[in-house]
Amino acid sequence: MAIGGQRDRFSWEVPGGMPVLSRGRHRRPRQGACFMEFASYLAGETWSDHPQCTHRFLAFLARGVNDFTSDEGRQRLATHIPSVVGLTGDSPIIEPLVGLRAAVTPIGVAAESAQRSLAAGVLACEAALDELACPKPDAAAQLLAEAWSSAPLAMAWAKDFAASIPASRRPVSFSRRGRAIVSTAVLAAADALVDDPDALLRAMLVGAISDTRGLLTKAPQPTEAAQAVPVRDGVTTSIR
């Protein structure tokens, strides 16, 4: 496993004249930048929203959060860009752990139909972690407990549903299903029954960054807690 130098993601500010964070992919900095394109710039890589400096699964989550955060809220994400530079490694735990963080973050405030999908995703991540020949990280146990306390009915439904699926029909590889779990979680957070979905999306990404860094360095960093806020109607679109 390899990890680059750490930066203070809470004090860093975007220098004047730098690209402004915006939705989607950009051919050049003058058109703006998404979260991961800015990371490629800071890492000194070729301009890309798929840089080598960040684990591909964490980068997938970051692109989704970038695209579904409002224009105003997106600028608050910029302070966390340096924290993903160099955050990569070959641990097989990263994908299910990031997927678990993504699925658990909105599960307590998502619509009922989304809760069931998220709960199924939580159990899929748990199963993927159980299949690995290594201890579960502490963050995983905490997230699983949070899922059961936040959405017990959805989790019970997902457990019964998973038990009804024949082993021969269960997915063998986690990677493809993991991306679907992350996409579902980002959409659920953007459309969550809360007043500030931007805060929920930001908590999802910051939590995943902290979990990944803690896994790679064995020294977890503090995360921003998702704020409990009043109900609101959300809007969903598609993830790139």
Q: What is the mean pLDDT of residues 137-164?
A: 94
> Is 123 within the bounds of a domain?
yes
204 within some domain: yes
199 pLDDT above the threshold of 80: yes
Determine the pLDDT at residue 124: 94
Asked if the structure places residue 103 within a domain, the reply is yes
Query: Which region among 35-44, 139-148, 220-229 has the lowest average model confidence (pLDDT)?
Result: 220-229
| Residue 163 located in a structural domain | yes
In a domain, 24, yes or no: no
The pLDDT of residue 93 is 94
Tell me, yes or no, whether 149 lies in a domain: yes
pTM over 0.75: yes
Domain count for the chain, please give it: 1
Q: Which residue has the tokens 């997230």?
A: 143
Its domain, for residue 128, covers 94-217
Domain-embedded: residue 9: no
